[in-house]
């Protein structure tokens, strides 16, 4: 069951709100305290730029919250929320098909469980380090809070690269990884899912090893599972579909729709593919997508069966797409965001959309940007979108459909039930509409109308902070 949205009058009793909570002097005092707090957090987390970037992004939104609710400052909620409850780093030894031994590093950051068990994906990619995992886990706290589901925030992964590895090699790695990680998991403790480099194949191997070690068929300990052993319909599509629904709501709030809009989607993985699918179903036309090597442009609209064949079946670079679609063009190292569009959906990786990219999009008439990836827009890019007053939605709101559907999978596992595709998708659509509406309402309440980024940060922060305050100093 989803948690009911917090009522504005329920967030704190009147006695906890200062009678001068909106006075400019108090607001400035809170801003000064935030600056001091941020400096201390930076000193405690040196060499972790992605994590500090994520913290700055949230702290930059909540000065008015602290002015209105001084108890959050008194109880050091910010300091507590920025310090993970637990950080686990471990060695992952495994053998390849030639018998050569490899050593990778595994991570699980259990960030905040005020709202429920830790929930967040596992990422297998060479770029994974502690800063990346902490930034993702920190974002996950607020993303999960926005869903209204009873789940806390966490994240994990490894610097292992599954690309080019055989199924047997991936299996051996996953078994070694789970051998250590299993002692930190449980359906009431920590429930991982997939992320970059971790799909149903990897989840299957991970769940098999957990089952073997624990001697329990604990379906709810991992989400993103195959349908034959406890997975949920719509889970594979959820992040991309949810992004499409969110964009639809953003445009509707401005008297527009996706019908006939030209769209760009960066990436060509799971999130990008299903974002393209849902946007197309809603009447939009996606003309370009990408991978790490280049950009494909198809003026007639990206052909989904072809894209799925290239990326999901053959697992080949995006340039292969043009072999099947002769009118399409491929540019190695191409600049996706310079293509004219109405809607831009960054779905690849963090910090992929820069300030210069934002300028190009705005110059070409882009009216909406919604993030399918986690923190894909740099601070300079975000600043330009907000200043231009286009519809801009951060990943913690726009891509929350994935974790929301993971929580729905947990519900099905707990009740030994299985829901239909249509029933689950309808729940997803309702959740995304609710997230959209609450972000807008909160932005209005705190004096930044139309600002989804601040609305999302404030709404999520208050929800988590209220739970932390209620649970005491733990």
**Is 71 labeled as ligand-binding?**
no
Q: How many CB atoms lie within 10 A of CB 183?
A: 12
**Is 140 labeled as ligand-binding?**
yes
Termini Cα distance of the chain: 26
Distance CA 315, CA 318 (A): 9
φ, ψ at 405 (rounded to 5°): -75, -30
Distance CA 97, CA 171 (A): 11
Closest CA to 282 of 245, 254, 317, 309: 245
**Is 119 labeled as ligand-binding?**
yes
CB 365 within 8 A of CB 342: yes
Beta pairing partners, 392:
369
**Is 61 labeled as ligand-binding?**
no
Same fold, 8-82+452-471 and 86-216: no
Distances (CA, A) of 23 to 19, 27, 68, 198, 381: 9, 6, 9, 49, 31
Residue 13, classed as helix, strand or coil, is coil
To the nearest 5 percent, what fractions of the chain are helix, strand and coil? 50, 15, 35
User: One of 134, 155, 285, 396 is an active-site residue; which one?
Assistant: 155
**Per-residue pLDDT tens digits of the chain, which is 474 residues long:** 344 444 443 443 333 333 344 445 555 666 778 888 999 999 999 999 999 999 999 999 999 999 999 999 999 999 999 999 999 999 999 999 999 999 999 999 999 999 999 999 999 999 999 999 999 999 999 999 999 999 999 999 999 999 999 999 999 999 999 999 999 999 999 999 999 899 999 999 999 999 999 999 999 999 999 999 999 999 999 999 999 999 999 999 999 999 999 999 999 999 999 999 999 999 999 999 999 899 999 999 999 999 999 998 888 999 999 999 999 999 998 899 999 999 999 999 889 999 999 999 999 999 999 999 999 999 999 999 999 999 999 999 999 999 999 999 999 999 999 999 999 999 999 999 999 999 999 999 999 999 999 999 999 999 999 999 999 999
Residue 15, classed as helix, strand or coil, is helix
Closest CA to 220 of 140, 89, 118, 88: 118
Provide the edge-to-edge strand list for the sheet that holds 153-158.
86-95, 101-112, 153-158, 118-124, 190-194
Residue 379 exposure: Cα atoms within 13 Å on the Cβ side:
11
**Is 194 labeled as ligand-binding?**
yes
Closest CA to 398 of 456, 337, 462: 456
Closest CA to 282 of 239, 234, 244: 244
CATH tag, 86-216: 3.40.50.10860
Quick one: how far is CA 62 from the chain centroid?
20
Write b or e for each residue in 45-70: b if 16 or more Cβ atoms lie within 10 A of its Cβ, otherwise e: beebebbbbbbebbbbbbbbbbbbbb
Distance CA 398, CA 392 (A): 10
Distance CA 465, CA 417 (A): 33
Distance CA 407, CA 405 (A): 5
**Is 326 labeled as ligand-binding?**
no
**Is 406 labeled as ligand-binding?**
yes
| CATH code matching the domain that covers 238-389, chosen among 2.30.42.10, 3.40.50.720, 3.40.50.300, 3.40.50.2300 | 3.40.50.720
In this prediction the pTM is 0.89
**Strand residues in 313-441 grouped as ranges (E):** 329-332, 343-346, 368-370, 391-393
| CATH code matching the domain that covers 8-82+452-471, chosen among 1.10.285.10, 1.10.287.110, 3.40.50.300, 1.10.340.30 | 1.10.285.10
Matching residue, tokens 């959050």: 72
Closest CA to 291 of 336, 350, 351, 355: 336
Q: Which sequence spans correspond to the domains of the chain?
A: 8-82+452-471, 86-216, 238-389
Distances (CA, A) of 63 to 30, 271, 309, 418: 6, 33, 48, 44
Is 163 tagged catalytic?
no
CB 349 within 8 A of CB 217: no
Distances (CA, A) of 73 to 4, 8, 345: 26, 19, 36
Distance CA 161, CA 158 (A): 8
Distances (CA, A) of 422 to 195, 419, 429, 452: 24, 8, 10, 28
């Amino acid at each position: 069951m989803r948690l009911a949205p917090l009522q504005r009058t329920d967030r704190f009793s009147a006695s906890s709100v200062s009678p001068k909570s909106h006075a400019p002097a108090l607001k400035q005092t809170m801003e000064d305290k935030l600056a001091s707090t941020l400096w201390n957090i930076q000193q405690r987390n040196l060499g972790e730029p992605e994590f500090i970037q994520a913290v700055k992004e949230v702290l930059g939104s909540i000065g008015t919250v602290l002015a209105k609710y001084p108890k959050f400052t008194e109880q050091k909620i910010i300091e507590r929320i920025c310090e993970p409850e637990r950080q686990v780093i471990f060695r992952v030894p495994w053998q390849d098909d030639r018998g050569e031994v490899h050593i990778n590093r595994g991570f699980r950051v259990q960030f905040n469980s005020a709202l429920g068990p830790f929930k967040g994906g596992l990422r297998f990619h060479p770029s994974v380090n502690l800063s990346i995992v902490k930034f993702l886990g920190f974002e996950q706290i607020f993303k999960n809070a926005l869903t209204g589901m009873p789940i806390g925030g966490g994240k994990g992964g490894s610097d292992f690269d599954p690309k080019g590895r055989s199924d047997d090699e991936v299996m051996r790695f996953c078994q070694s990884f789970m051998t250590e990680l299993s002692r930190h998991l449980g359906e009431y403790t920590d429930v991982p899912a997939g992320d970059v480099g971790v799909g149903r194949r990897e989840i299957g191997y991970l769940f098999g090893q957990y089952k073997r070690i624990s001697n329990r068929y604990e379906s709810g300990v991992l989400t993103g599972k195959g349908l034959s052993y406890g997975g949920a319909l719509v889970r594979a599509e959820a992040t991309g579909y949810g992004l499409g629904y969110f964009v639809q709501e953003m445009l509707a709030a401005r008297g527009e729709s996706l019908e006939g809009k030209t769209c760009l989607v960066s990436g060509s993985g799971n999130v990008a593919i299903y974002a393209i699918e849902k946007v197309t179903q809603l009447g939009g036309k996606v003309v370009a997508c990408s991978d790490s090597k280049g950009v494909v442009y198809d003026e007639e609209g990206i052909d989904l069966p072809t894209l799925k064949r290239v990326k999901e079946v053959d697992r080949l670079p995006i340039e292969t797409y043009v072999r099947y679609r002769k009118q399409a063009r491929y540019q190695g190292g191409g600049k996706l965001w310079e293509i004219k569009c109405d809607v831009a959906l960054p779905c690849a990786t963090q910090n992929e959309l820069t300030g210069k990219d934002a300028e190009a999009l705005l110059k070409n008439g882009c009216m909406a940007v919604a993030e399918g990836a986690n923190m894909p827009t740099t601070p300079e890019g975000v600043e330009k979108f907000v200043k231009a007053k286009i519809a801009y939605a951060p990943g913690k709101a726009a891509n929350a459909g994935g974790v929301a559907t993971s929580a729905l999978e947990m519900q099905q596992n707990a009740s030994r039930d299985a829901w239909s595709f249509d029933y689950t998708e309808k729940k997803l659509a309702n959740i995304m509409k609710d997230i959209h509406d609450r972000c807008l309402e909160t932005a209005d309440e705190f004096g930044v109308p139309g600002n989804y980024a601040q609305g999302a940060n404030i709404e999520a922060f208050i929800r988590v902070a209220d739970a932390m305050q209620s649970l005491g100093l733990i």
